[in-house]
Each structure stands twice: as C-alpha cells, then as structure tokens.
Amino acid sequence: MTDIPTLIAARKTLTTIPEWTLQNDQFRLVATLDLDGVTLDGIWLRVTAYKAIPDRRVSFQIEFKPEGFRHIPAARVDWRPANPHSNRNIGPAHLRLMVIEGSHHHTFDANWPLGFERMVSENLPIAEPLVPDPRDFEGLLHLVGRLFNVDGMKGIAVPKWEPGLFDR
C-alpha cells in the first residue's frame, strides 16, 4: 500500500455510486475509492446517519487498514452532532483546549502525528470547527469531497429520512 499521507492527499474518486443500507435505526454506507483508475485496498469512506433524525448527526469517515491492523479512522467530519467536542491540550496550538459546539472536522493532518495507535484508541482526538457549516446534505457532500479529496460525492443520495417523534 502507498503510504497513508500520500493516499489521503491524493485526489481519489468513488469507485461506484454507493447505496445506503438501513441497519436498525441507522443508515450506513461504505464506499471504496479509486486512484488513477485502480480501486485502493485498505482505504474506504464510511458514512452514517440516523433514519429518524434528518439533516443532523451525519458522519463521514475515511478509514485505512495498516498491515496487521483493522480499519482505523483517518479523518472524520461530524455534521451537526448530538454532542460538542473538546480538544485536549495536544495538537496544533490554535486548536488546543478548544470546545466546538457544532459541526467539526477531525482532520488527518492534526491527528496523524499522534500515531495510528492513538488515532484509533482515542478516536481522532483533535478536531477543528467545520467552516463553512453546510446548509444541507448536498452542501455537506460538496464540502466533504473537497476536504477528503474525493470526487464523485454528489452521486451519494440524500438519506430517506423519516423524522420520528423521538430521536432516542
């Protein structure tokens, strides 16, 4: 496998238009990625959303699989999450101890220097606010495609949300 920072920085494309699956109350989607026409092994995009919660609590995560390990999160965008995020006193100086109330981006560049063991066991502990915060799902796809260097994101369908009385 090409080294991970190079893969993350490279312009990639969704291999196919991925379909949502509904598992319990969650929409899930996993999409393989192509680089120069070759489908990459050990790196994919994983997306989750909640059936009863439209336009909130959507996560896009790029994951990679180092030899001998399982898939590990490399970067994640949490759009309108249920809970705020607080950075610890680690990482880039301008992000330390920052509390982010809304949408945020756990960037690869900020978390990779921690080493992949901490990336997984601490679930990408460093985040920065998502700017601009997309107004809708289509805007989110566009932004995530830019942040993750992935083309073809607009092919992902808007989840068929069914707003419920309760979001658990």
Partner 1 sequence: MSDMENRNTAFRAIIEEVARSLASVRHEGEASYVRTPILYPGGSLVVVRVEQAGRHYLISDMGLGFVEADQMGAEVSFGRTAPHIAEKAGIAFEHHSFIVKEVSRDQLVGAVATVAACSQEAVQITAMKLSERKTVDASERLYGRLIRVFTPAKVTRHAEVYGASNTPWSVAALVKSDDHQAVFEPVTDHPNSVASAVAKFVDLSQLDRPPARVAVVHDKKTFGTRLNLIASAAKVIEEGATDRMLERVADLQAA
Q: Assign residue 14 a region: left if phi > 0, alpha if psi is -120 to 50, beta otherwise?
A: beta
**Which span (5-13, 35-43, 122-130, 150-158) binds partner 1, by CB under 8 A?**
122-130
Contacts of 47 (CB under 8 A, 6+ apart): 27, 28, 29, 30, 31, 58, 59, 60, 61, 156
> If binding is defined by CB under 8 A, does position 51 make contact with partner 1?
no
Burial (CB count within 10 angstroms: exposed 0-12, middle 13-18, buried 19+), residue 71 = middle
Amino acid identity of 6?
T
> If binding is defined by CB under 8 A, does position 13 make contact with partner 1?
no
Annotate 113-146 with DSSP letters as a single string.
GG-HHHHHHTTS---EE-SS--SSHHHHHHHHHH
> If binding is defined by CB under 8 A, does position 84 make contact with partner 1?
yes
> If binding is defined by CB under 8 A, does position 1 make contact with partner 1?
no
Q: Supply the minimum distance, in Å, between the C-beta of residue 34 and partner 1.
A: 23
**Which span (9-17, 117-125, 135-143, 147-155) binds partner 1, by CB under 8 A?**
117-125
> If binding is defined by CB under 8 A, does position 82 make contact with partner 1?
yes
Q: Which neighbouring-strand residues pair with 62?
A: 45, 75
**Which span (8-16, 35-43, 57-65, 143-151) binds partner 1, by CB under 8 A?**
57-65
Binding site for partner 1 (CB under 8 A): 24-25, 48, 59, 61, 63, 68-73, 76, 81-88, 99, 114-115, 117-118, 120-127, 165-168
